[in-house]
Amino acid sequence: MLQIAPYLLLFWGKYREFIFKRYRPCYGFLFVLPLLLPSFDTFIKLTIYCGIITGLDLLGLWRLNFLAFWLPVEFNLIPANVSKGEFAGYFTAVSLLAHYLARYRDIDFSIKSRYREVLKVYVILALLLVPAGLITGFIKFNPVIERAISLPGIFFAVGYPEELLFRAFLFRVLKGYLNNSIILLISSLIFGLSHFNGPHGGVLYVVFATVAGLGYGHVYLKTGSVASAAFLHTLVDFTWTVLFGG
């Protein structure tokens, strides 16, 4: 799982400083090379994926890379579906995103979080989403305590990567064009729509994910921290997984 290394290095300040000073889009190809040994097919697909992202960056069309990062993963055009165990492809994509964002000094990637704000919004989301989910039948109380061990996995495989994309990256794409309130609404709606074809997909899932996205985005704007949004995201998903069999 060498593909995960650049993603984990994102939490190390010296790595981010190195990327900030010496960033080159083509360095991202290094994250794809280990795939040559276990799977040539995966290697080819992710090389094309990495090439598109690099090409857009070199052409100055970096804003389009939000779609380039998201759409191939969302529609399973590359082998990056965690639910199917395609971790190598998934973490290659996440590492490319981490490498890409590390060049921005004004994004706070540190693992530190403002827990008071996180807990406050978590309580608000719980009071809104749990009753609504039970009433609509979207969720049912079905505790699976054994799933409590999934907390670190939810953070590193879901919460943090999705906040890198839907908050840190998307807010940067739209910054300078729209005010924060409009960006919050747009990012939350896109985040909600990204769940339409998920394992629990459908209109209700889009609505609940959009509301949750408003909470994640609010925390990101309030704290300026990707980790704070990621911790909130993780708490919500963890609650759903453990208490409602999500």
- pLDDT the model gives residue 197: 75
- pLDDT the model gives residue 188: 97
Average pLDDT, the chain: 90
The four Cα atoms 203, 205, 206, 209 give a dihedral, to 10 degrees, of 160
Give the pLDDT mean for 210-230. Answer: 96
| Cα gap 238→224, rounded to integer Å | 23
| Cα gap 244→246, rounded to integer Å | 5
Lowest mean pLDDT among 5-9, 125-129, 208-212: 5-9
Instruction: Please write the tens of the pLDDT for every residue from 50-99.
Output: 999 999 999 989 899 999 999 888 888 888 877 777 888 888 899 999 99
Buried b (16+ CB within 10 A) or exposed e, 130-148: beebeeeebbeeeeeeebe
Q: Where along the chain do its domains lie?
A: 2-101, 115-243
74 neighbors 194 (Cβ within 8 angstroms): yes
Residue 23: pLDDT over 80: yes
- pLDDT the model gives residue 88: 82
Displacement of CA 179 from its chain's centroid (Å): 22
The four Cα atoms 42, 45, 51, 53 give a dihedral, to 10 degrees, of -100
Give the pLDDT mean for 205-231. Answer: 96
The pair of three-digit structure tokens given for residue 80, joined into one six-digit string: 């990056």
- pLDDT the model gives residue 1: 64
Residue 199: pLDDT over 70: no
Residue with tokens 């060049």: 103
Residue with tokens 């990101």: 220
146 neighbors 155 (Cβ within 8 angstroms): no
Instruction: Please write the tens of the pLDDT for every residue from 110-162.
Output: 888 889 999 999 999 999 999 999 999 999 998 888 888 889 999 999 999 99
- pLDDT the model gives residue 82: 76
Instruction: Please write the tens of the pLDDT for every residue from 150-195.
Output: 899 999 999 999 999 999 999 999 988 999 999 999 999 999 998 8
Query: Whole-model pTM?
Result: 0.92
The pair of three-digit structure tokens given for residue 151, joined into one six-digit string: 């907390």
Strands (E), the chain: none
